[in-house]
Amino acid sequence: MKSGSNEMTDIDRPAGPSSTPGRNDAPSRHLINAFLISGLVLITVVLLVWGSNVLIPLAVALLIWRFINALADVYQRLWSRWLGPMRGLALLLALLTIFAASLLALDVVVSNVSAISASSREFQKSIDILLERASNLTGIERDRIIDETFGQLRLGQLLGAMVSAMTSLASQFSVVFVYVIFLLVEQKFFNIKLNAIVRDENRRARIRSLLDRVSQDVNSYVWIMTLVSLLTAALSYAVMIAVGVNHAAFWAFLVFILNFIPTVGTILATLLVSLYGLLQLGDFKSFLILLTAVGLIQFFVGNVLQPRMSAKTLNLSQFVVILSLFIWGALWGVVGMFLAVPITAILMIVLANFPSTRVVAAILSETGELRSAGDAAKADTPAP
């Protein structure tokens, strides 16, 4: 009886913590989740690369579409007191403004690049003169390496490649414009579709709040970068005119465009303007003046004025910004570098709204302070 009683006690004794199936399976679940996440990332990268011909124009169209709506808001506020809302007219005027500005910019770029390419032989002579001066100043002869490096430089070919790139951009512009038109036509049905897809009112309100937050932050970023880039381009244009640089309008436009690429774009714009001045004028003094003046303009506007205007609008880590430039540049080329900051900001906002991914959003942020979709309504509405 005693042994039977003991056997009953052993059988009836509750299982210890070590025999809990859930805890034994935990490492397996983590391993499976890691494989699933890795596979999802790999599939996403492959789709981004393979579908770039479709996704790049679509991403650009979405950004332009948001900017058109933001510009329409400005027009609407201008006349709403006297004429009423008239949203359709505001959208049409904003669309025409963007379309006209794009055509003007494209014409300036293509015509100026062609003119610069035509005068490339003179730049080749300037290179030879500059090399001779450098050789006389330093006492170092122009050895075979320098001759092969600079003597075979063909600026005409390089600038011809720029013309080809602009032609390709023009063909993509038509696709982007078609996307934008259809987005503007379809946007009045977005809320109806959302109501049909998401039946739960609380979830629907949360999604709307998330979309509003994304829209506000992206609009603020685009407006601020546009104003900052315009100011930088205008000041750089004045410097180039004072120094005597030809085609100053084209180079000012290039400064404006490249300013949308943080850090890398501003450095590249400064170097391009300075090197062109060196080639055209054949004078190291002009090169130093351009390098110093344009560099100081970029530094003041980017590091003093822009932070005061943006007030950390996107709250992105500077390291993450630089990293995103190289990642999206590797995936989508130069266009990816232009889109890197808005895409990364949108990704951070979305990740901040899910408990399981908030830690990733905190890593992407600059301060670690995150706002969920529910907090968006409490945030101050940024001025356009």
Cα 153 from Cα 143, distance rounded (Å): 16
Low-confidence ranges of the chain (pLDDT < 70): 1-27, 30, 83, 117-171, 309-313, 371-384
In this structure, is residue 296 part of a structural domain? Answer: no
In this structure, is residue 221 part of a structural domain? Answer: no
What pLDDT does residue 198 have?
84
Beta bridge partners of 316: 365
Q: Are 267 and 322 in contact (CB under 8 A)?
A: no
What is the domain count for the chain? 1
- Residue 8 CA neighbour count, 13 Å, CB half: 5
What pLDDT does residue 123 have?
66
What pLDDT does residue 207 have?
87
Beta bridge partners of 365: 316
Count of all residues that appear for the chain in the document: 384
Q: Are 120 and 113 in contact (CB under 8 A)?
A: no
Taking alpha carbons only, the member of 19, 150, 60, 34 closest to residue 332 is 60
In this structure, is residue 249 part of a structural domain? Answer: no
In this structure, is residue 79 part of a structural domain? Answer: yes
Q: What is the pTM of this model?
A: 0.74
What pLDDT does residue 144 have?
46
What pLDDT does residue 237 have?
95
Range of the domain at 187: 53-197
In this structure, is residue 364 part of a structural domain? Answer: no
Residue 376, burial from CB neighbour count under 10 angstroms (0-12, 13-18, 19+):
buried
Q: Are 64 and 176 in contact (CB under 8 A)?
A: yes
In this structure, is residue 96 part of a structural domain? Answer: yes
Tokens of 323: 């990293």
In 10 A of CB 269, how many CB atoms?
26
In the block, residue with structure tokens 């529910």: 374
- Collapsing DSSP to helix, strand or coil, 259 comes out as coil
End-to-end CA distance of the chain, in Å? 87
- Residue 27 CA neighbour count, 13 Å, CB half: 1
Q: Are 228 and 306 in contact (CB under 8 A)?
A: yes
- Collapsing DSSP to helix, strand or coil, 316 comes out as strand
What pLDDT does residue 138 have?
59
In this structure, is residue 105 part of a structural domain? Answer: yes
Kindly compute the dihedral angle of the four CA atoms of residues 256, 259, 261, 263, in this order, to the nearest 10 degrees. 160
Q: Are 360 and 344 in contact (CB under 8 A)?
A: no
In this structure, is residue 336 part of a structural domain? Answer: no
